[in-house]
Chain A
Amino acid sequence: MKDKNKPFLVLYIKIYITEQYNRCKISKLLKIKDDIQVKRLTIIICILICATLIFGPIKVLYEYAIPKDVKPTQSRMHMNTGNTTRVEGDKTKDIAVEISEILYPGINGVGAADGYILINSDKWQDVLSMIPLANKYKAPIINVNKENINTVLEYISTKKPKGISLLQNAMVIYAGNQEDISSTIAKSDIKSYNIAYSDLNQLIDKVYSLPGFMEKQDYGFLVPDSNPIVSIPVGTWIANQGGLLLFYNNEKKPYESGLNIVKDTKLKKLYYLTEDTNAQSLESYFKDMKLKLAAVTVGKEESSAVNFARYYDPEEGIGWDAGDRRKDSSHNYIICSKEAPTVAALAAQLSLAGKSGPLLWTESNKLSAKTEGYLWSMKPNYWVSPAEGPYNHGWIIGNSDMIDYSIQARIDYIFEIVPYKTMGEQGVSGLDVISIIFTTAALCSALWIALHAALRMRYMTLLIKLMWVISALVIGPFALLIYILCYYNVPWTKMNGKKMWLRPLWKQTATATILVVAFGVSTISALSFWLTWLGLPNLSALNWSGFFLLGNPIILQMIIVYLAAFIINVFIIMPVIMNQMSGVSYRDGVNKSFLSVLISLTSFFIGRAISNWWLMMVYSPISPDESQIIWWGFMQLAAVIGFATAYVPVWKLVRYGKVTGTM
């Protein structure tokens, strides 16, 4: 009689499946001889699902902590990447020439420099002190010695510099004491200007008294002469925007030359850079001058360069201000090894023109943690299309002995432009944070339920305990909440030796829906994980028939996981649960569970599939895979929505006694 009330289609499907079941005798196929074997199989399946749902997120964590496939060697044809350019050179002098070639290619007069600054010194302080000159005269700096002077002069003559007008069209400024070098320059056809000096103090004094140099100099930087890590990053700003560079010594006393310059000129502001705040003694040297002093406390080691990159004085507009405020702008960085300060001082002049930006430090064989953290914080992202920019770019200074290739590759990866909403595979977006919190909460909820069920719910069957644990892995803290609501202060009774909780209808519905989550949706999630990991099927051959949608891997995956979840639930799990609850035989269990599983699982699946698709379409322009935490986050969130869509039909099933929610 009951069957007469069922819709014809449902009845037909039921008869068809039952016939097919009887024909193939699935229990024989599965070699199931009795209910105990089915029960064992059910427990094994549940444990496998449970293990998959724990293993998946832990795999993500593991692959983050221990990166996969880092190969120790690599053969390459060149050393550039999409977001980085390597400035190659074995020695300081090679790199100096390479930098000047980058800045001023000077090919047939196109892009030529006004002149060249040749310095006979390998000290970073000497090179750095020439940076203001490079900015003023648009002339790159090259180190010279007796061995390379002829080669450098030949190079300069091919570049045809325009001549520095303020120095009577001199093409070369030579700073150094070796007379044989100055005489070699004098013998060449290149017009030069010599600066002979004995120490840094004298060099600065002479440099700053060059014709026209002090014009329009409004501000200066006072930096320590013994700490290249703090001092050299300032060079990038001076190279790009000008300004004076003055030194102070270990006793925190400014050089005489610097004090004289400040006295004689009308500087508006002097920025002094220190590692820590204990540098007030410096201020005492300037207290009688009409000059604003600004302390820039940059911190130690790599942090100092990061802090200088972020520094900004809004009053004067000084500082790169490459921090959170300007995260959406384009940024270039000069990446230098801490072990090669002279090279870094030369590299600072890359900010003279073109892709200018601050200098950052790294170790030689590993990207320094502070620098990496900062670069991640500045990762570029786009809103609609990656063609919109902005892009970041990195100059990697020196050969791979100076900065390992892996550092360059890592910086290239960090600089890759990614969607704003997801921040790419290794980036952490708001959605990733939500996913991490939700997944962690799911694991904790499952652990809590497992402990509670094991210790306190001794009348609960193993399968029901597993049901709650698995449901927590799928819908996280929501399952924990329902678990508490369904057992805390809920009266119970025993029927046929089984413990039954006497709950109101809405709680029974929630428990019955959890049944779908635990055994249906969890199967879908676990299988989705394995399919995605092993590769989704793609039937593009179906296109000829016009059914290309059926060949789509995501749609195929949905069909496969739905059918698998349906079969496992109808033929394996639900009969066992029914047997435990009301003692029905396996075959009756299959018959009775068919309709309820069809309705509950389908309604759940519709909610889950639509919401998962929507989340992917709206929030992730590039499909995530199982190795990303966001994939798990989306799946769990979609399962929560699926729970809500399944609740109403399940309520109907509970009301008419088709499923029970008293376990």
Chain B
Amino acid sequence: MIKNESLKRRHTALLILLPLIVAALIAYLIFYQPNYYPIQVQPAAEYIRPKVTKNTVRIFAGDIYQNAAALTQITYPSSFEDDRPNAVILVREDKKEDGLLAASVTHHPINAPILFVNKDSIPEATWKEMERLDPQGVFVDDNVKAILIGDIGKEVKNKIKSKGWRYRHIEGNNPFKLSKNIDDYLASIHGDHRDTVIIASIDAAEYAYPAVSWNAHMGDGLFFVEKDSVPQEVKDALNSRYGKAYIYIMGGQNEISSKVVKELASYGHIQIIPNNGDIYGNSAGFAGYKDFGKNFGWWISKRNRDFGWGIAEAGHNFIFINPNDWHLVVSASVLSHKGKHGPMLLVQGDYIPESVKNYLQTVRPSKTTPQEQLYNHGWIIGGEKLISTKLQAEIDMLLGYEEGVR
């Protein structure tokens, strides 16, 4: 028979033992080191030792597919579950605008890099990288592991299915429709259409290059317009915003006419990103651009808008890229999504345009103390034909602090 006294003893013992067990467990967990080691690296056939300087690292490989894979290997070491992406974004290698639009999907919670495919096949380098990445699945979308962008054929879908992966296909046989569909897909995930959108001309898509890295970083929308007209899909997308949109235009009057700018103004607030007359100035202008203010909300909960890198001081990362290769622009956008997030700056093969140079002088670190020194970092994207080694050395100098200069 159970007596009160024995029960009390049991309870007292339990009350003492339980916290002790819990404390011991917590202490064990604090000192416990999970085993993530070791991993044997098998150098790929196209293994490279990229040029590294004290403030820059070059990334390149053989072709567009391998370049994209080399870039995802920077961002996703994929040695254990938490450093893998949730999905991969597959874009056709012959669809420039699709690639530029796809960067918005990279952002959290999707967390996916962009790889290139053909309309009806997945090239070997892309397939190998997909296997290495082994995505976790997007938990806010049925654990899909691949997101197909644009007009992609059945064979690609079948190959993905054969691996047992679920996929999401965001269709759109022209860039305007695709941009609307991507926007709607992201809105369904976030429960809201982002009020901040970037507009560029489809005839001068190079102006949208810096937006690609921003979108991978922040997930804002990108829409293309024609020089003299706003396509219906873009109008519909802008109308989807709750209240007015905040529209940021990339390109000058030669790229987007005043008529279009006026028309866009009817959908919300517009601003032109400073561009200094060319795409290089546009990239530098956007890196330093910031628009901060109120957005929308009700009287107890107002949300702010926070658009643009606004980098005007040292301690940041920059992606240096030659605009001649749009594939690299698209795949390098993932570098702004993880690691050292930072803007894309456009340079020529052997020359830093003056506007970019001036910007780099602005953000160049001053020598302070070793404990508080700020450092810049630069990714040099592509081989020496796109950005020469000499230019890399010059960029290295511009990113570092100057001895004896304060």
Contacts and interface: CB of A to CB of B under 8 A. Distances in A.
A444 B11 CA distance: 13
Interface stretch (A21-29, A223-231, A536-544): A536-544
Interface stretch (B68-76, B89-97, B324-332): B68-76
B201 to A, nearest CB: 26
Contact of A404 (B25, B39, B51, B317): B39
Contacts of A98: 52
A70 B80 contact: yes
A72 B139 contact: no
Nearest to A428: B30
Contacts of B142: 535-538
B272 interface: no
Given A405-B41, A409-B39, A87 B34 contact: no
B394 interface: yes
Contacts of A534: 143
Given A76-B41, A76-B44, A535-B143, A67 B371 contact: no
A622 B109 contact: yes
A447 B14 CA distance: 10
B317 A409 contact: no
B36 A67 contact: yes
Interface string A531-573: 0111111111011101011011111000000000000000000
Given A535-B141, A554-B191, A353 B80 contact: no
B55 A78 contact: no
Contacts of A553: 140-141, 188-189
Contacts of A355: 54-55, 375, 377
B306 A385 contact: yes
Contacts of A63: 81
Nearest to B32: A65
B293 interface: no
A365 B80 contact: no
Contacts of A426: 82
Contacts of A540: 184-185, 187-189
A659 to B, nearest CB: 31
A386 interface: yes
A77 interface: yes
Interface string A398-416: 0010001111111011001
Interface string B178-201: 000000110111110100000000
A276 interface: no
A249 interface: no
A416 B339 contact: yes
A391 B394 CA distance: 23
Contacts of B168: 538
Contact of B374 (A85, A330, A552): A330
Contacts of A551: 188
A619 interface: no
Contacts of B315: 330, 389-391
Interface in B184-229: 184-185, 187-191, 193, 217-218
A184 interface: no
A353 B399 CA distance: 12
Interface string B371-403: 111110100000000000110111011001000
Given A321-B371, A354-B53, A67 B42 contact: no
Given A77-B48, A330-B315, A622-B109, A108 B390 contact: yes
B37 A538 contact: no
A391 B185 contact: no
B320 to A, nearest CB: 15
A278 interface: no
Contacts of A354: 53-55, 375, 396, 400
Contact of B189 (A71, A317, A533, A538): A538
Interface string A511-535: 0000000000000000000001111
B interface bracket (residues with beta carbon within 8 Å of A): 35 or more
B311 interface: yes
A389 B312 CA distance: 13
B43 interface: yes
A275 interface: no
Contacts of A393: 340, 375, 377
Contacts of A537: 142
A67 B34 contact: yes
Interface stretch (A99-107, A202-210, A467-475): A99-107
B369 interface: yes
A535 B31 CA distance: 33
Interface string A73-110: 11111111111010110000000001001110111101
Given A69-B84, A548-B188, A400 B41 contact: yes
A85 B55 CA distance: 10
B162 interface: no
B130 to A, nearest CB: 12
Nearest to A110: B393
B340 A83 contact: yes
Contacts of B134: 69, 71
Contacts of B269: none
B49 interface: yes
Contacts of B7: 455-456
A82 B335 contact: yes
Contacts of A70: 35-37, 39, 79-80
Nearest to B19: A444
A77 B69 contact: yes
Contact of B43 (A76, A406, A410, A448): A76
Nearest to B389: A107
* Most chain B Cβ neighbours within 10 Å, of A101, A436, A535, A537: A535
Contacts of A425: 82
Interface in B18-47: 18, 22, 25-26, 29, 31-44, 46-47
B331 to A, nearest CB: 13
Contacts of B35: 66-67, 70, 366
Contact of A444 (B18, B48, B84, B369): B18
Contacts of B187: 540, 543, 548
A543 B377 contact: no
A322 B33 CA distance: 23
A326 B372 contact: yes
Nearest to B4: A456
A495 interface: no
A240 interface: yes
Given A76-B47, A385-B306, A444-B22, A405 B339 contact: no
B83 interface: yes
B349 interface: no
A350 to B, nearest CB: 8
A110 B138 contact: no
A437 B123 CA distance: 49
Interface string A192-212: 000000000000000000000
A329 interface: yes
B340 to A, nearest CB: 5
A408 to B, nearest CB: 7
A329 B372 contact: yes
B259 interface: no
B188 A538 contact: yes
The 4 closest A-B pairs by CB, nearest first: A82-B339, A354-B54, A535-B143, A409-B77
Given A329-B371, A354-B54, 19 more contacts: A63-B81, A71-B39, A76-B41, A77-B47, A78-B73, A81-B74, A110-B390, A330-B375, A354-B55, A366-B37, A389-B340, A393-B340, A405-B79, A451-B14, A455-B7, A456-B7, A543-B240, A548-B191, A551-B188
14 contacts: A65-B34, A77-B66, A85-B57, A111-B396, A241-B370, A355-B55, A387-B311, A393-B377, A405-B77, A410-B37, A416-B339, A440-B26, A535-B139, A538-B141
Interface of B: 2, 7, 10-11, 14, 18, 22, 25-26, 29, 31-44, 46-55, 57, 59, 61, 66, 69-70, 73-75, 77-84, 108-109, 128, 132, 134, 137-144, 166, 168, 184-185, 187-191, 193, 217-218, 240, 306, 309, 311, 315-317, 335, 338-342, 369-375, 377, 389-390, 392-394, 396-397, 400
